[in-house]
């Protein structure tokens, strides 16, 4: 597959994910009348997945610096699969559970909003970069992979770390 087709596919997938998230946040899809108890465990699971991905990304960086390409590849594939699981869990939670809001009068609200907004913006920006990084890595196009990963790696790492921070800041206000 040529680069032009890959770019189109990456943009399509990224747009579909972004559209799903926007539609869920606008309550376009009706939530079920009864929310199963396990749904309320998803935010903690998501934070755990994000924390694990953070660790995997740091280890991957370490191993690529050691020129251990196989371990680097395994760690990144694992982080990618976990991130896909995170996305499915995130979408499920935001479809089924009521939105949790951070109290407007809380002293940490400005920090929370800053971290949340930057997390959301960088999440949208990094998704196509991650997909391209993976494509180039799996296609063994190391020069292109290295060039785009210089951007995608720090953004992805920030998104995973900030996701955990967002969870810890809002978790006291979750229902149930």
User: pLDDT digit string (tens) for 21-41?
Assistant: 888 877 777 888 899 999 999
Q: What one-character DSSP code corresponds to residue 34?
A: S
Both tokens assigned to 45: 């699971």
Structure-token match 């930057």, residue found: 118
pTM as predicted: 0.91
- CA 118/CA 112 separation, integer angstroms: 10
Map out the domains of the chain as residue ranges: 3-173
Cβ neighbours for 47, distance < 8 A, ≥ 6 positions apart? 163, 164, 167, 168, 171
The domain made up of 3-173 is a member of CATH 1.10.287: no
- Residue by residue, pLDDT tens for the chain (176 residues) are 788 999 999 999 999 999 998 888 777 778 888 999 999 999 999 999 999 999 999 999 999 999 999 999 999 999 999 999 999 999 999 889 888 999 999 999 999 999 999 999 999 999 999 999 999 999 999 999 999 999 999 999 999 999 999 999 999 998 76
């Amino acid at each position: 597959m040529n680069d032009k087709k890959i770019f189109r596919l990456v943009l399509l997938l990224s747009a579909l994910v972004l559209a799903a998230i926007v539609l869920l946040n606008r309550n376009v899809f009706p939530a079920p009348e009864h929310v199963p108890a396990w749904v309320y465990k998803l935010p903690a699971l998501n934070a755990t997945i994000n924390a694990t991905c953070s660790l995997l990304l740091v280890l991957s960086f370490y191993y690529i610096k050691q020129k251990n390409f196989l371990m680097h590849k395994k760690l990144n594939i694992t982080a990618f699969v976990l991130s896909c699981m995170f996305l499915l869990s995130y979408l499920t939670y935001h479809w089924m559970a009521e939105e949790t809001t951070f109290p407007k009068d809380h002293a940490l609200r400005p920090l929370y909003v800053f971290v949340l907004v930057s997390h959301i913006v960088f999440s949208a920006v990094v998704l196509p970069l991650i997909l391209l990084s993976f494509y180039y890595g799996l296609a063994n196009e190391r020069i292109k992979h290295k060039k785009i990963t210089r951007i995608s790696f720090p953004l992805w790492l920030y998104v995973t770390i900030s996701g955990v921070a967002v969870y810890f800041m809002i978790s006291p206000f979750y229902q149930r």
